[in-house]
Each structure stands twice: as C-alpha cells, then as structure tokens.
Amino acid sequence: MAHATQVGLQDATSPIMEELISFHDHALMIIFLISFLVLYALFLTLTTKLTNTNITDAQEMETIWTILPAIILVLIALPSLRILYLTDEINDPSFTIKAIGHQWYWAYEYTDYGGLIFNSYMLPPLFLEPGDLRLLEVDNRVVLPIEAPVRMMITSQDVLHSWTVPSLGLKTDAIPGRLNQTTFTATRPGVYYGQCSEICGANHSFMPIVLELIPLKIFEMGPVFTL
C-alpha cells in the first residue's frame, strides 16, 4: 500500500513486480548518468572561454556519440523485452478468476469453484470501520492463495476499464467483447489494493480492487468464500 511520502514503487508481492522494480532502477541509473554528463558538458560550455579547435571537426568523436546512444538503447531494450514476454507467459495456472468491469463496480467469478459469482462495490464512508481506507475498501474482497499461479480473465460489460493492482505488477484492460488474461503468483500474504486505471465515466475513481491473499491451506478450507 502506498503512503503519503512514498517516492519509489510499492513493495513487490510477485516475481513480476520484483523484475519491474529491478528494471526501473536499472533504467533510472542510466538516466541519471546521461543527465549528469549532459549537465556537466553544458556547465563547461557556459563557463569556459577557451575553444579547442580539435573538436570542431572530429570524426572519431562524432562516431562515438552516435554509436554510444545506440548501445545504451540496447541495454535498456533487452531487459524490457524480457519482462514483456514474462508478463505474457502463462504456465499451468492453479486457479482461474474472471473479473468483469461494470459502471462502476467489479464482478468476480470463481470458475473453478462451481461458478461462484459476486459483486464488489466500494464501501461508502458511513460504512467504514476504524482502520479502513477511504475510497479503497470494498464490501466483498477477492480471496486468493499465495504461492500458487492464478490466472485472471478480464473483460467489461459496458465501457473500457483497467484492472490494476500495483503491488502485483498487474494492469490489464477490460474491453467489452474481448477476454484478456494475465497471471500472477503472490509471494506473501496480506491485503492489496488497486483501482480502475482507465477513465470510464463519472464514478471512475470509485471502483477499487481489493485482494486478500492467504496461505493455500487456509484457502482450501472453504469458509473464506462465505460472502
């Protein structure tokens, strides 16, 4: 869960999010080095009165500053493509959950448990308990196990939505007439929050997503499905 003074990304709860954070730090370091080099060159240009005639027509230098950016782009593109393919890879999921976007709430279907279907609405402020998060709590949470691959089937009933949970590194569009899918494997228990990330109408800000991740043994006991 993000907090008010947070600068970086949320703590990772899945291997994919760990990869995304690692790539973010990798790209950010390259950006810092480039920015420092450019600012240093500008500082020298503005402060020195000397002119070196050897760099006014230097083929070697022009070759270097043409090839070097291309190498930097390759160093950024290769890990980016690797993560892109990892996010699309689906290997024998243990559970399948279908999420359907509506204006303005989410509906969920546990396809592996007799077609259990329920709606998830945001809790109004009057119904919040002490410690609940305003605009993020829902009446029915999605309960899922940790350390088990879960496949999310995501679609929409009306307009474009986006099912997003930052801690898991998930962001998949919900499109009417189309069924998108994504997978994740949670690594630790807890309650994780997300929101619709596609402007979908007047109450776009009021359709949160709440996942309650619990150990597999507790998940298989059954009472967690009591709504």
198 closest CA partner among 166, 172, 167: 172
Percent pLDDT > 70 in the chain is: 93
Q: Does domain 15-88 have CATH number 1.10.287.90?
A: yes
Lowest mean pLDDT: which of 42-51, 62-71, 197-206? 42-51
Tens-place pLDDT, residues 209-225: 999 999 988 887 764 55
SS (HEC) of 203-227: CHHHCEEEEEEECHHHHCCCHHHCC
Pick among 3.40.30.10, 2.60.40.420, 3.50.50.60, 3.40.50.10140: CATH of 95-221: 2.60.40.420
Residue 6 carries which side chain, given as an amino acid letter? Q
Which of the four pLDDT bands, split at 50, 70 and 90, describes residue 226?
Answer: very low
Angle (deg, nearest 10), helices 59-88 and 15-47: 160
Spell out the domain ranges in the chain.
Answer: 15-88, 95-221
What pLDDT score does 173 carry? 93
State the average pLDDT for the chain: 87
Q: Judge if the upstream peptide bond of residue 104 is cis by omega within 30 degrees of 0.
A: yes
The radius of gyration computed from the CA coordinates of the chain, to the nearest angstrom, equals: 24
Q: What is the mean pLDDT of residues 88-100?
A: 86
